A and B are shown apart, each in its own frame.
Chain A
Amino acid sequence: VPAVVLGSALLRRPAALGAAATRCAPARDSHGPPRQGHGSSKAASLHWTGERAVSVLLLGLLPAAYLCPGPAVDYSLAAALTLHGHWGLGQVITDYVHGDTPIKVANTGLYILSALTFAGLCHFNYQDVGICKAVAMLWSL
């Protein structure tokens, strides 16, 4: 009987590790109940919710851009588009990039790209015709 109990306990450990192995990168977005006595952070779960919120916001901006084009929608689009893309590409990095240094390098590069993208879109909104007008003009071609 003790051997059976020990056997099943030994089987359960590799299974837990196996479940962890289905994620390509360790740590990061692990959910699951917070353990007693260890610092539990809601960061990952809040990030997930934030991603859905921005997605919904962006979705809502699409009809807004069509029906009420203007600077308000332009800048909101710039922000929502950049953030949605930044978080999306972040998930891609988390899935495919492994190793501490490559991860850090990739994420830094992503931050730079997103910052430039947001700056460029805002600049376009300010100095040029703006996103809504640009799409309308492009489609009138």
Chain B
Amino acid sequence: MGSTAREEMSRFWEKNSRSNRPLSPHVTIYKWSLPMAMSITHRGTGIALSLGVSLFSLGALLLPEHFPHYLAQVRALSLGPVLIFLAKFSLAVPFSYHTWNGIRHLV
């Protein structure tokens, strides 16, 4: 019987914080494995996509003009096809990675 898991954990953390123990080197010394790398990339792409959506959303709230206006401005820049491709690619890669890896997590 005794204490709940929550109580045990908070007792552990109080003692641990009090002891000011140094953090184990973990990421700096452990050899990187594929699962580790894929997991942190999933998290990184997730954060990036989320911030991107939020930025887009804030833009929708704050910018004076509508979307087609800004799109026309970009079109007027007459950027080379390579540049446009690279821009689309850099948007598609984190989105695709996060989506497919996400499916992997779901199954």
Establish whether residues A89 and B99, one from each chain, have CB atoms under 8 Å apart when the complex forms.
Answer: no
Pick the contact of B57: A55, A62, A121, A129 (CB < 8 A): A121
Q: How large is the interface on B (under 10, 10 to 19, 20 to 34, 35 or more residues)?
A: 35 or more
Pick the contact of B103: A32, A59, A82 (CB < 8 A): A59
Q: How large is the interface on A (under 10, 10 to 19, 20 to 34, 35 or more residues)?
A: 35 or more
Establish whether residues A124 and B60, one from each chain, have CB atoms under 8 Å apart when the complex forms.
Answer: yes
A residues with a Cβ closer than 8 A to B are 16-17, 20-21, 23, 26-27, 30, 32, 35-38, 52, 55-56, 59, 62, 81-82, 85, 88-89, 92, 113, 116-121, 123-124, 127-129, 134, 137-139, 141
- A sample of 15 inter-chain contacts (CB < 8 A) reads A20-B8, A26-B9, A32-B5, A56-B106, A81-B53, A85-B50, A88-B47, A89-B47, A89-B50, A120-B58, A123-B60, A127-B66, A129-B68, A137-B71, A138-B71
